[in-house]
Amino acid sequence: MARKALKIKEEIPQLYEVKPIKTKPYNDIDLNHWKDYDHIDTGTLWMYQSRAKGNGHSFDYHGNYIPQIAQQLYERYTKKGDVILDMFLGSGTSAIEALNMHRRCIGIELNPNVVEYTSSKFSQKDLCTDIRIINGDSASEEIKEKIQTNLELMTEKKAQFVVLHPPYDDIIKFSDNEKDLSNCKSTQEFYDLFGKVAKTAYDFLEKKRFAALIIGDKYANGELIPLGFKCMEAMNNAGFTTKSIIIKNIEGNEKAKGKTANLWRYRALAGGFNIFKHEYIMVFEKR
């Protein structure tokens, strides 16, 4: 019987070999079993019918991005234990999903009331170990020392992934603070301040790691303002290399617009423009 087993092993050695895990330096995906990851979307068109709820997520803050984006990006571009740096934390989608997926997060938020509210979503233990929330201006020079201090508390020199989900210029006013990017006096000022945020993000990201920009465009005075591509340019000027431009539908972000949706359809027909049904997820690499 032993001789028969030995003969089978010699004839079909692959049945007895255990392949070592084959991963990239920036994620935990085992490429030997790449067919098992069909839940990861590698295309450039992402369609979601509704916002994921549960596991700490809720639609309680106008303007936050949907959790599915974080889930896709984290599995694709981070490893367990990595630190995600979110330059515009808001209500905490990045941090909540980091905790759910066994990652860590440093988030920057300008509004102290939002900082207090978002902090309440986490235990004191989480806030001491895996989640660090900084109240500050992500476009300022002062924020750099705060980021560095929190990285050191996490025994890291740099972050392993960066998320940037800025206000879409002045479409939604998030506060009365003049430093808030949604209160810029002009779109050019918005671009200038975002460029400073992009440079800080670049400086605090490890080499050969990735960043994601979640952004949409806007209309103003009968003209399309390409916020997405202008912010992509700012990321490139900061030193990032563009890897992907993903188009994601925004119809699932909010439901039941009803008559409001009809009003915008009338305005589109009358004004000669098209209604936005997408936003961008732009992926960059620090080479």
Smallest CA-to-CA distance from 182 within 145, 227, 120 is with 227
Contact predicate 95/107, CB 8 Å = yes
Domain limits for position 249: 2-285
Q: Give pLDDT, residue 7.
A: 56
State which amino acid sits at residue 287: R
CATH code of the domain in which 107 resides: 3.40.50.150
Number of domains in the chain: 1
Give the pLDDT confidence score for residue 264 in this predicted structure. Answer: 84
Question: CA 53 → CA 47, 86, 250, distances in Å?
Answer: 16, 20, 16
- The reported pLDDT for the residue numbered 258 is 46
Nearest Cα to 135, choosing from 157, 153, 117?
Answer: 117
Q: Cα–Cα distance between 235 and 241 in angstroms, integer?
A: 8
What is the predicted pLDDT for the residue at 55?
73
What does the DSSP assignment read for 43-91?
A: SSEE--SS---BTTB-S-STTPPPHHHHHHHHHHH--TTPEEEESS-TT
Helices and strands per DSSP (H, E), number in the chain: 9, 10
pLDDT at position 15 is 53
- DSSP annotation of 53 reads -
Query: Which regions of the chain does DSSP assign to beta strands (E)?
Result: 45-46, 83-86, 104-109, 131-135, 159-164, 205-215, 218-220, 223-225, 241-249, 278-285
Output the furthest CA–CA distance in the chain (Å, rounded): 84
Adjacent-strand bridge partners of 285: 210, 241
C-alpha 139/C-alpha 141 separation (Å) is 7
pLDDT of residue 42: 97
Weakly modelled stretches of the chain, pLDDT under 50: 2, 6, 255-259
First vs last C-alpha separation in the chain: 56
Q: Which are the contacts of 270, defined by CB distance < 8 A and separation ≥ 6?
A: none
pTM for the model:
0.90
